[in-house]
Amino acid sequence: MEEKIYKLDELSLDEIHAVLTHKWYLSQKACRDVGIDFALEDWFKNHSKHWREEKMKEDFRNQKVEIEKHKWYLSQKLGYDVGSQQAALDWIKSGYAEAWRNKSGPYCKDKK
């Protein structure tokens, strides 16, 4: 069976950041630049599964916080408690979910 060759352009920005951070740690430990290919392969073989599990848990927690904020604002706007399900559906339909996933719009940290 042919071994998979991992490529950075197949990864999300968060995954690329994790690989580059991993490369830095490996290079520091080796007292030399280990190279992106080595770091990428090592990250996939030894760290990606755990990293992705933790990332999904963190994203889920953060998403719940954002939906709760949206629930409060929507309830204030409409004058009654809309409930979590309606708030979540409105959060998705209004485009906030996509903006949150893409870290754009009101979720962009680099506001100037």
Residue 112: pLDDT over 50: no
Instruction: Give this prediction's pTM.
Output: 0.71
Residue 110: pLDDT over 70: no
Q: How far apart are CA 68 and CA 44, in angstroms?
A: 34
The pLDDT assigned to 101 comes to: 83
For 62-104, how does the pLDDT look when each residue is reduced to its tens digit (9 = 90+)?
Answer: 999 999 999 999 999 999 999 999 999 999 999 999 888 887 7
Residue 111: pLDDT over 60: no
For 27-64, how does the pLDDT look when each residue is reduced to its tens digit (9 = 90+)?
Answer: 999 999 999 999 999 999 999 999 999 999 999 999 99
DSSP string, 83-111: HHHHHHHHHHHTTHHHHHHHT-GGG-S--
The pLDDT assigned to 12 comes to: 87
